[in-house]
């Protein structure tokens, strides 16, 4: 059945609207600030074969990795109508433990097998482990929290109460966790409803439209790669450390471009680390998909078809494809950003006028928790903090923005202070932190937290020793800094650290600026 371009474009937006509406339901029904305010979640629609056909405008680090979660679930279970499975195990389709993925089949009218799968991934503010927020300075995965292989949360529309009680018994904020998990289920149900309506609208044309959408994305990616000069392009960059040792953690890539196809080879990257900066194959895949999608000027459908011309090589046991029982908390948030920087640095050699200088290169992860004496309840909180965007050939970088693998919002000061026993003492742009150049890098952020009670705090950040690189003669952005002010005494903090605080202590986080682009004339 032939598909014309107008019908395909309309169909594509109808599918995307389903993923977006799933996200709206998840956000509006969730309990935690991390999902409701920061929007740290992603939703997508998959074919019966597990290929992505629609994504919401959510988190790149989630969306490129989620197909592996769907694949892990469908290998483990023959999902039936009304079933929902969840998974967070990084070695079975997950990325890091706070990200819980929920997968649900959609059976269209008269179908004996699943016609689609809908899935969402939400970052939960606590899933247990050795530190509040479940982003600890761990040496192995067992210290990071509750690890879920693919398990059935809902069977034929009924929640498995035993499983839910087991999960809630292992987290610090069970009421919040229950609300967020059930909101993920509600989101999937909305996706199911909308896919039934889409099927009723298109009838027999539905599957030809799906196939055409995947093929179109593939053609657009092949054309974008073919426009670049063929050859091999290499780049390397590093994380400051793994948090437990002082050694830098190197990520190296060779991108080979030939005839509309690309091979992305991470051979030569550091071995998996002692600390929690390890990434898995899903994260390397997500970063690669994001970067190559950015090469396409047009608003191309973000489907699995984009990756068909791209071959990924990530050696097992390396920091970009770590093996169990490696600690993984920061791989999803910090190493994903450095993988992105390295990929962009390599492609800048092939397309110097298309690729920006390095952005802040860290999500500046902050998590803390304890007992709230004002509200008389435990609390656990997690957030990422924006930085400067790298400049590019046409303009300066944006200041105070989330870049690349994160697409989250900030938690507004009013919501933050309403929910937690802290005050925000300062929240401002870090002037002059962007790298100099013909076009300046964007500036980072200064955010200060005053604790009103005792708490356990963890920071997982990077670019504290080396600023984000500039391109074409532009200067690097300023590195970030973490500082604790206690009893009017100021003490610098490491990029990755865990420490206790008391009432009156102030934590200051200064995020990196972006790199500059071009020599100043």
Predicted confidence (pLDDT) per residue in 439-470, tens digit: 999 999 999 999 999 999 999 999 999 999 99
pLDDT at residue 349 tops 80? yes
Q: How confident is the model at residue 219 (pLDDT cuts 50, 70, 90)?
A: very high
Q: Whole-angstrom Cα distance, residue 396 to residue 338?
A: 21
**What does the pLDDT look like over 388-402, one tens digit per residue?**
999 999 999 999 999
pLDDT at 93: 85
Helix axes of 206-226 and 5-29: crossing angle, nearest 10 degrees:
100
Mean pLDDT of 61-79: 92
**What does the pLDDT look like over 163-197, one tens digit per residue?**
999 999 999 999 999 999 999 999 999 999 999 99
Q: Hey, which bits of 70-207 come out as E strands?
A: 84-87, 99-106, 116-123, 151-155, 158-159
268 near 315, Cβ under 8 Å?
no
pLDDT at residue 62 tops 90? no
* Maximal CA-CA distance, the chain: 74
Nearest to 23 by CA among 190, 147, 152: 190
pLDDT at 57: 82
pLDDT at residue 489 tops 90? yes
At residue 285, φ and ψ (nearest 5 deg) are: -65, -45
Residue predicted with more confidence, 408 or 241: 241
Q: Whole-angstrom Cα distance, residue 313 to residue 126?
A: 33
pLDDT at residue 412 tops 70? yes
Q: Whole-angstrom Cα distance, residue 313 to residue 267?
A: 7
Residues in the chain: 521
Q: Hey, which bits of 48-144 come out as E strands?
A: 52-55, 84-87, 99-106, 116-123
365 near 125, Cβ under 8 Å?
no
Hunting for tokens 């809902």 — which residue is that?
154
Mean pLDDT of 95-118: 96
CB-side exposure of 68: number of CA atoms within 13 Å? 21
For residue 370, CA distances in Å to 46, 131, 173, 412 come to: 39, 10, 10, 21
pLDDT at residue 87 tops 80? yes
Percent of the chain having pLDDT more than 90? 95
442 near 388, Cβ under 8 Å?
yes
pLDDT at 1: 67
pLDDT at 381: 97
Mean pLDDT of 275-286: 96
pLDDT at residue 83 tops 90? yes
Identify the H or E element spanning 42: strand 41-47
Mean pLDDT, the chain, rounded, equals: 96
Q: Whole-angstrom Cα distance, residue 439 to residue 390?
A: 9
379 near 420, Cβ under 8 Å?
yes
Partner residues linked to 459 by β-bridges: 366, 497
284 near 263, Cβ under 8 Å?
no
**What does the pLDDT look like over 351-399, one tens digit per residue?**
999 999 999 999 999 999 999 999 999 999 999 999 999 999 999 999 9
What pTM did the predictor assign? 0.96
Torsion sign over Cα 159, 62, 25, 384? positive
């Amino acid at each position: 059945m032939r598909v014309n371009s107008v019908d395909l474009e309309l169909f594509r937006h109808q599918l995307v609207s389903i993923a977006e509406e799933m996200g709206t339901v998840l956000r509006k029904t969730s309990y935690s600030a991390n999902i409701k305010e920061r929007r740290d979640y992603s939703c997508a629609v998959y074919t019966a074969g597990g290929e992505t056909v629609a994504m919401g405008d959510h988190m790149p680090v989630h969306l490129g990795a989620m197909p592996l979660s769907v694949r892990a679930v469908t290998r483990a279970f023959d999902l039936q109508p009304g079933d929902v499975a969840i998974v967070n195990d990084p070695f079975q389709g997950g990325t890091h433990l706070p990200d819980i993925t929920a997968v649900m089949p959609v059976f269209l009218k008269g179908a004996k097998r699943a016609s689609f799968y809908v899935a969402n991934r939400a970052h939960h503010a606590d899933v247990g482990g050795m530190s509040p927020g479940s982003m600890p300075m761990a040496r192995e995965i067992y210290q990071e929290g509750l690890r879920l292989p693919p398990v059935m949360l809902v069977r034929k529309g009924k929640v498995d109460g035993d499983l839910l009680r087991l999960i809630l018994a292992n987290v610090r904020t069970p009421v919040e966790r229950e609300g967020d998990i059930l909101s993920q289920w509600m989101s999937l149900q909305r996706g199911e409803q909308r896919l039934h309506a889409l099927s009723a609208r298109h009838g027999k044309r539905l599957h030809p439209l799906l196939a055409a959408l995947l093929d179109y994305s593939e053609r657009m990616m092949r054309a974008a790669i073919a426009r670049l000069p063929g050859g091999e392009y290499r780049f390397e960059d590093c994380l400051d450390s793994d948090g437990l040792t002082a050694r830098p953690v190197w990520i190296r890539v060779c991108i080979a471009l030939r005839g509309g196809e690309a091979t992305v080879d991470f051979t030569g990257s550091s071995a998996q680390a002692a600390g929690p900066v390890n990434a898995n194959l899903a994260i390397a895949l997500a970063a690669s998909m994001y970067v190559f999608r950015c090469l396409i000027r047009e608003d191309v459908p973000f489907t699995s078809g984009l990756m068909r011309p791209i071959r990924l090589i990530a050696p097992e046991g390396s920091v970009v494809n770590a093996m169990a029982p490696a600690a993984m908390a920061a791989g999803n948030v910090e190493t994903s950003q450095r993988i992105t920087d390295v990929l962009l640095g390599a492609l800048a050699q092939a397309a110097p006028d298309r690729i920006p200088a390095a952005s802040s290169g860290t999500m500046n992860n902050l998590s803390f928790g304890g007992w709230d004496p004002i509200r008389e309840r435990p609390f656990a909180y997690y957030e990422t903090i924006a930085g400067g965007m790298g400049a590019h050939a046409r303009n300066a970088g944006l200041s105070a923005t989330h870049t690349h693998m994160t697409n989250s919002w900030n938690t507004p000061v009013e919501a933050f202070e309403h929910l937690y026993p802290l005050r925000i003492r300062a929240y401002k742009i870090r002037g002059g932190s962007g790298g100099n150049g013909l076009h300046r890098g964007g500036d980072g952020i200064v955010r200060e937290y005053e604790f009103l009670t005792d708490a356990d705090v963890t920071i997982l950040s990077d670019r504290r020793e080396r600023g984000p690189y500039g391109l074409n003669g532009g200067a690097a952005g300023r590195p970030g800094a973490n500082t604790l002010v206690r009893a009017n005494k100021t003490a610098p903090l490491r990029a990755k650290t865990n420490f206790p605080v008391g009432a009156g202590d102030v934590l200051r986080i200064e995020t990196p600026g972006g790199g500059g682009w071009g020599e100043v004339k």
